[in-house]
Amino acid sequence: MAIKFERVNFEYISADGSSFKALKDINLEISDKGEFITLIGETGSGKSTLVQHMNALVKPSSGEVTVYGIKIYNDIKKKDRNVKLNPLRQKVGLVFQFPEYQLFEETVLKDIIFGPKNFGVKEAEAIERAKEIIKLVGLDESYLKRSPFNLSGGEKKRVSIAGILAMEPDILVLDEPTSGLDPKGRDALLELFTSIHNELDKTVIIITHDMNTVYKYASRVLVMSEGELVFDGDPLKLFTKKNLIDWNLDLPEIIQITRQLEDKLNIKINKLPRNVDELFNIVKGVL
């Protein structure tokens, strides 16, 4: 298993000595082959904290996180730290929730090639990669010369995604990659992540607040609530559970419409549709 959490707890300790328990007893296994996972849960439930454990940005207060056979613990000696953690950070690429935390170079090009160069790719090859990838994330080559700090929020987001794609990770972890993007841009990026998942058989993990994204794309959904992992399984099963309200989650639009049609037409639909065509066929069959 590429990523394994065993009884993981994490506490943030503030400067004044107070602490906050952000992760409680998390057990979780993730493969690097072909999973498409969405991680959801209300604000402050611990999603970002959870994924930051996946590439050792933070380390558990207790319990164990093992990533590609390497145990992440606090007392890895300083001199060993980069040797041990760098390969893992190339394999598990994490796109931050806030691109400002990730972008730091003078130009977009330098930002995108930083990761690959750091992991041993030659400069010329890294530049070629950057030219390809900037287009994949929906920007053109002219952006490569610009400063990442003078871009709009959505453009910064795209550049931060490009920087991680350029490292060609086996597991791509995206913390709210489409927040703040226009609907067309959001759909294009989700299609890009889907094609990376389908064509390269890579695992993609997306944190999102959008239930439509969960229902349309994910084969597995993880739900966090107050620091606990309260659901891990099939999205269809999640959306037929009663606890959605306790976890402050909505239903995807297509399921909401299905429920309204059941009410208005006084019919019972047993198999929930994935999309409008499926709903149309079900309703046609029932009426």
Ligand X SMILES: Nc1ncnc2c1ncn2[C@@H]1O[C@H](COP(=O)(O)OP(=O)(O)OP(=O)(O)O)[C@@H](O)[C@H]1O
Residues that bind ligand X (CB under 6 A): 12, 14, 20, 22, 41, 43-49, 97
E-assigned strand segments in 208-251: 220-225, 228-233
**Least distance CB 22 / ligand X (angstroms):** 4
* Local structure of 7: helix, strand or coil: strand
Place of tokens 């094609």: 195
Partner from ligand X, Mg ion, none binding residue 73, C-beta < 5-8 Å depending on class: none
Q: Which is closer to ligand X, CB of 45 or CB of 178?
A: 45
Shortest separation between residue 59's beta carbon and ligand X, angstroms: 14
47/186 with CB nearer ligand X: 47
From 91-99, 159-167, 215-223, 247-255, give the range in contact with Mg ion by CB under 5 A: 91-99
Using CB under 5 A as the binding rule, whether residue 48 contacts Mg ion is answered as: yes
178 is a site residue for Mg ion (CB under 5 A): no
Residue tagged 């953690």 (tokens) = 85
List of long-range contacts for 192-199, beta carbons under 8 Å, 24+ apart: 192/136, 192/137, 193/217, 194/36, 196/165, 196/172, 197/34, 197/36
Is the CB of 38 or the CB of 97 nearer to Mg ion?
97
Tell me how far apart the alpha carbons of residues 250 and 260 are, in angstroms, rounded to a whole number. 14
User: Measured from the CB atom, is 14 or 266 closer to ligand X?
Assistant: 14
- Closer Cβ to ligand X, 44 or 153, answer by number: 44
User: Closest residue to Mg ion, Cβ-based?
Assistant: 48
Q: Could you give the C-alpha distances from 207 to 43, 121, 222, 269, in angstroms and in order?
A: 11, 29, 9, 30
Judged by beta carbon distances under 5 to 8 A according to partner kind, the member of ligand X, Mg ion, none in contact with residue 34 is none
Q: How far is the CB of 27 from ligand X (least distance, A)?
A: 18
Say whether 179 sits in a helix, a strand or coil: coil
Integer Cα distance of 16 and 19 in angstroms: 9
Q: Which residues contribute to the site for Mg ion (CB under 5 A)?
A: 48, 97
